[in-house]
């Protein structure tokens, strides 16, 4: 079978596109080396405790590794793809935490003894007051602050991750910081 010049060019172009896509898709090891710390910082800010943060970071990275083959460089950057997965994992963890919290409240209400269910003792964290204040914020504020400062994303990338414009993300970020500042001021007065 004879290959024409045009079909040979097309085959070469296809091979080039496949190599380019393979080069743009990170390996699991490279993904973890590059993003693990940022994912954990994000998780520490959006979760209510250190154990939850570790679980969330691990779950998010595990999901990303399982979905590496679905990453398409023509649809966006690795950053945007990864943070969408991390936000999804955080939302899932938040729903689970809310259900556990509601269940614990119901059990406390049914119990005669107040000591029947006690929350685990807090683990000291550097900058603990800041982290505690962040954890008291609503889920959206926690996500914005965690993406901006925990994941070191600019407001344009925060906007992409949260499906909003960069300017809307900036406004939401300033408002979240104002609420955080207010909580920190209240805490320092007492």
Q: What confidence tens digit (pLDDT) does each residue in 9-45 have?
A: 665 665 545 455 445 667 889 888 988 898 888 888 8
Task: Quote the pLDDT of residue 4.
Answer: 56
Q: Residue 122 has what pLDDT?
A: 39
**Whose structure tokens read 């500042």?**
181
The predicted pLDDT at position 128 comes to: 75
Q: Is there a domain that residue 5 lies in?
A: no
Question: Tokens representing 187?
Answer: 């805490």
How many domains does the structure of the chain reveal?
1
Has residue 127 got a pLDDT over 60? yes
Does residue 169 surpass a pLDDT of 90?
Answer: yes
Q: How high is the pLDDT of residue 125?
A: 34
Assess if residue 147 is contained within a domain. Answer: yes
Q: Which residue has the tokens 């990864």?
A: 82
Stronger pLDDT, 102 or 1, i.e. the higher one: 102
Compare 116 and 60 and report the one with higher pLDDT.
Answer: 60
Mean pLDDT of the chain: 77
Whether 4 is covered by a domain: the verdict is no
Residue 103 lies in a domain: yes
Q: Is residue 47 part of a domain?
A: yes
Q: What's the pLDDT at 100? A: 76
Give the per-residue pLDDT at 108.
67
Query: Which residue range forms the structural domain that includes residue 184?
Result: 27-189
Residue 78 lies in a domain: yes
What is the arithmetic mean of pLDDT over 52-60? 88
Sign, CA torsion 93/96/97/98: positive
What's the pLDDT at 93? 81
Cite the DSSP H helix spans in 69-165. 78-110, 128-136, 139-145, 155-161
Domain annotation covers residue 41 = yes
The token pair at 112 is 């005669």
Given a contact cutoff of 8 angstroms between Cβ atoms, the answer to whether 143 and 162 are in contact is yes
Is 98 part of any domain? yes
Residue 119: per-residue pLDDT: 47
Q: 122: burial class by Cβ within 10 Å (0-12, 13-18, 19+)? A: exposed
């Amino acid at each position: 079978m004879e290959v024409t010049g045009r079909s040979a060019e097309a085959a070469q172009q296809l091979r080039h596109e496949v190599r380019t896509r393979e080069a743009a898709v990170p390996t699991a090891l490279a993904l973890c080396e590059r993003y693990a710390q940022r994912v954990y910082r994000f998780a520490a800010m959006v979760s209510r405790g250190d154990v939850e943060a570790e679980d969330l970071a691990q779950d998010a990275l595990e999901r990303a590794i399982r979905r590496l083959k679905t990453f398409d460089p023509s649809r966006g950057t690795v950053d945007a793809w990864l943070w969408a997965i991390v936000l999804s994992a955080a939302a899932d963890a938040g729903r689970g935490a809310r259900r556990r919290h509601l269940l614990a409240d119901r059990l406390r209400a049914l119990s005669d003894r107040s000591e029947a269910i006690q929350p685990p003792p807090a683990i000291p964290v550097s900058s603990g007051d800041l982290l505690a204040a962040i954890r008291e914020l609503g889920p959206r504020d926690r996500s914005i602050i965690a993406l901006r400062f925990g994941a070191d994303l600019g407001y344009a990338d925060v906007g992409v991750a949260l499906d909003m414009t960069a300017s809307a993300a900036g406004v939401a970020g300033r408002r979240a910081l104002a609420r955080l500042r207010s909580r920190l001021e209240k805490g320092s007065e007492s």
